């Protein structure tokens, strides 16, 4: 059973390229690339039926995401639509940035009364963590330099147009291919903002020289982002575009050290201190060059007003090191800053001073990224297990207990900035205190469960399920008879799933569930067209 509550009102009237008929007249859809909470992403082949040589039709692959405009009901679960303002904002930012300088390129937008199609360039290399995990034996210092260079280039492009991304993290960085020399693309502008004055200038179609020249002077107060990558000033809700530089700094740490899931709060506390030695961050490779830490210190400078801009950091020695290691310049897509990044306008390698940085292998970093991917599957399988096996009251009680324990723990010295995450062994202790030892037994059957005892479990994953449950408890656009049917069907389905699990659950079964969940997406945010769907993947397999 499925349904959708649609609306004839256009969400993106001034950005749309056509309607559904227009979309299907030029694109032929192919394989599903992924499925999110708000819709599916497919390969869409842009067809050319009028070849000059009279040959067969040709095509160019793109990524097409179809979003339901209204509330949907699938697999006995109600899903709210993405907020129109969020969708409009993201599409407008993509149009504004025009796919230049390592920002995702928007090809076209199509809208019908029920759906919206967002067509972008295709990125087949996966997100940053996925991509890094595939680089065994190949990842070196110069590749890290190139990643940071391209990411800073994207941020500089955003800031020059008054755009603050506000959620820079590995999950929002995609790679065009799995090759070690692949370009990256910054995605997911759903949490971003355009300064109001700049938005007015953009709407008026002013020339490039009339863009914002110093967006750092513009203060903002709306919280956005993912906690581990969030700047101190963002927590205080008084920030500028420099908050993105902080997030790039934390991402630069994760690139070489891996996501510190086994030591997350400690890493977070070090990052959030005013005075700290960044060399003490967990899992950093040995013998990283001093130039890397010079760059990292300046990106993670605590007073944001003293923090360097992306344009400044693009000139740092470590960031420029990737050029020295190439016999040719990479395709960096820079419009207007090439002279700034070299200082003298000469882009030849021979004109630059040789760096003291040495190329070194970072295989240990690749291993840690691979380990985190396997843990991510485990973590999502645990979240699904808890959501299915616990009754609603017990599920909410578990969230409350975990949150209380977290709030009582020591936080960073700069204020109450404790991450909403607890070690797996603590989650198990709480479940036992609730007389839910049976669930703990199931958790321990998961592959490699014993290895993850001290890895942190994100409470936010449970809140995703809780939010979906809340939808059924609220007044909806559906009539009462349909609402009653939904409640009854959802309850019967959950009871059936629990009964089946108790009879047939196994480690292999849970491994498959975790892998399916992981393919559905990584982001905890519901603020973007790139959002994920955790609950549905479990239901489809149950």
Nearest to 122 by CA among 61, 165, 57: 61
Q: Say what the pLDDT of residue 385 is.
A: 92
Nearest to 367 by CA among 514, 250, 257: 257
Q: Say what the pLDDT of residue 87 is.
A: 82
List the structure tokens of 529: 């067209």
Return the bridge partners of 423, or none.
Answer: 456
Domains of the chain, earliest start first? 2-120 (3.30.200.20), 128-361 (1.10.510.10), 372-541 (no CATH)
Q: What is the rounded distance in angstroms from the CA atom of residue 390 to the CA atom of residue 19?
A: 44
The DSSP secondary-structure symbol of 91 reads: H
Return the bridge partners of 118, or none.
Answer: 65, 109
Nearby residues of 436 by Cβ (< 8 Å), 6 or more positions away: 389, 390, 394
Q: What is the DSSP string of 238-258?
A: -B-THHHHHHHHHHHHHHHH-
Q: How confident is the model at residue 518 (pLDDT cuts 50, 70, 90)?
A: very low
The angle, 0 to 180 degrees and rounded to 10, between the axes of the packed helices 242-257 and 141-160 is 160
Do residues 211 and 162 touch, judged by C-beta distance below 8 A?
yes
The per-residue pLDDT for range 60-113, each reduced to its tens digit, is 999 998 887 766 555 444 556 677 777 888 888 999 999 999 999 999 999 888
Nearby residues of 466 by Cβ (< 8 Å), 6 or more positions away: 395, 396, 399
Nearby residues of 114 by Cβ (< 8 Å), 6 or more positions away: 4, 6, 68, 69, 70
Predicted TM-score (pTM) of the model is 0.79
Do residues 301 and 307 touch, judged by C-beta distance below 8 A?
yes
Helices (H), 413-453: 424-433, 437-444
For residues 352-361, average pLDDT: 78
Q: Which helix (H) or strand (E) holds 63?
A: strand 58-68
Pick from 202-206, 224-228, 501-505: least confident: 202-206
Do residues 96 and 161 touch, judged by C-beta distance below 8 A?
yes
Instruction: State whether the Cα torsion 52-57-60-62 is positive or negative.
Output: positive
Nearest to 93 by CA among 159, 168, 22: 159
Do residues 128 and 255 touch, judged by C-beta distance below 8 A?
yes
- Residue 31, exposed/middle/buried by CB under 10 A (0-12, 13-18, 19+)? exposed
Please name the residue that has the structure tokens 């993106």.
12
The neighbour count for residue 34, using CB atoms within 10 Å, is: 16
Residue 310 pLDDT greater than 80, yes or no: yes
* Residue that wins the pLDDT comparison between 426 and 204: 426
Nearby residues of 452 by Cβ (< 8 Å), 6 or more positions away: 375, 378, 424
Q: Which helix (H) or strand (E) holds 196?
A: helix 196-203
How big is the chain, counted in residues? 542
Q: Angle at CA 226, nearest 5°, toward 440 and 417?
A: 80
Please name the residue that has the structure tokens 């003291």.
356
Which among 35-39, 192-196, 303-307, 472-476 has the top mean pLDDT? 303-307
- Residue 56, exposed/middle/buried by CB under 10 A (0-12, 13-18, 19+)? exposed
3 state SS of 511: helix
The per-residue pLDDT for range 137-173, each reduced to its tens digit, is 899 999 999 999 999 999 999 998 989 999 999 999 9
Do residues 144 and 138 touch, judged by C-beta distance below 8 A?
no
The per-residue pLDDT for range 32-73, each reduced to its tens digit, is 887 766 678 899 999 886 656 666 677 899 999 888 776 655
Do residues 459 and 409 touch, judged by C-beta distance below 8 A?
no
Cα 500 to Cα 110, 147, 382, 494, distances in angstroms: 42, 46, 17, 10
Q: What is the rounded distance in angstroms from the CA atom of residue 400 to the CA atom of residue 3?
A: 33
Do residues 187 and 485 touch, judged by C-beta distance below 8 A?
no
């Amino acid at each position: 059973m499925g349904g959708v509550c649609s609306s004839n009102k256009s969400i993106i009237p001034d950005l749309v390229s056509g309607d559904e008929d227009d979309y299907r007249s030029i694109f032929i859809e192919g394989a599903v690339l992924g499925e999110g909470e708000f819709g599916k992403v497919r390969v869409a082949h842009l067809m050319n039926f009028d070849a000059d040589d009279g040959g067969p039709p040709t095509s160019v692959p793109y990524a097409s995401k179809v979003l339901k405009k209204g509330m949907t009901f699938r697999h006995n679960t109600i899903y709210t639509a993405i907020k129109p303002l969020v969708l409009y904002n993201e599409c407008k930012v993509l149009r504004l940035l025009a796919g230049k300088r390592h920002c995702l390129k928007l090809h076209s937008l199509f809208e019908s009364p029920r759906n919206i199609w967002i067509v972008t360039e295709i990125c087949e290399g996966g997100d940053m963590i996925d991509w890094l995990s595939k680089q065994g034996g190949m990842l070196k210092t110069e590749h890290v330099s190139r990643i940071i260079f391209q990411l800073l280039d994207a941020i500089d492009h955003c800031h020059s147009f008054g755009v603050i991304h506000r959620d820079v993290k590995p999950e929002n960085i995609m790679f065009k291919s799995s090759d070690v020399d692949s370009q990256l693309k910054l995605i997911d502008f759903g949490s971003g903002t355009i300064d109001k004055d700049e938005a007015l200038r953009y709407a008026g179609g002013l020339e490039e020289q009339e863009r914002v020249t110093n967006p750092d002077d513009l203060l903002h107060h709306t919280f956005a982002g993912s906690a581990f990558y969030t700047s101190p000033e963002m927590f205080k809700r008084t920030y500028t575009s420099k908050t993105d530089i902080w997030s790039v700094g934390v991402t630069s740490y994760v690139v070489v050290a891996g996501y510190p899931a086994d030591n997350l709060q400690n890493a977070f506390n070090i990052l959030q201190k005013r005075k700290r030695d960044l060399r003490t961050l967990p899992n950093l490779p040995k013998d990283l060059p001093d130039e890397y830490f010079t760059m990292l210190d300046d990106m993670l400078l605590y007073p944001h007003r003293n923090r360097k801009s992306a344009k400044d950091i693009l000139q740092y020695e470590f960031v420029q090191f990737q050029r020295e290691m190439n016999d040719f310049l990479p395709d960096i897509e820079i419009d207007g800053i090439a002279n700034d990044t070299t200082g003298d306008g000469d882009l030849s390698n021979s004109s630059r001073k040789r760096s003291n940085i040495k190329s070194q292998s970072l295989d240990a970093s690749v291993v840690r990224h691979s380990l985190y991917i396997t843990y991510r599957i485990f973590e999502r399988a645990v979240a699904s297990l808890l959501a299915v096996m616990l009754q609603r009251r017990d599920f909410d009680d578990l969230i409350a207990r975990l949150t209380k324990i977290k709030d009582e723990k020591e936080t960073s010295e700069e204020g109450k900035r404790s991450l909403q995450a607890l070690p797996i062994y603590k989650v198990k202790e709480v479940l036992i205190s609730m007389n839910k030892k049976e669930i703990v037994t199931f958790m321990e059957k998961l592959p490699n469960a014993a290895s993850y005892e001290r890895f942190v479990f994100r409470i936010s994953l449970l809140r995703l399920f809780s939010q979906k449950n809340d939808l059924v408890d609220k007044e909806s656009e559906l009539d009462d008879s349909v609402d009653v049917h939904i409640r009854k069907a959802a309850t019967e389905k959950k009871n059936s799933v629990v009964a089946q699990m108790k009879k047939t659950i196994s480690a292999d079964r849970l491994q498959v569930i975790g892998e399916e969940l992981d393919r559905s997406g990584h982001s905890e945010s519901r603020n973007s067209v790139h959002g994920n769907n955790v609950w549905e993947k479990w239901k489809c397999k149950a």
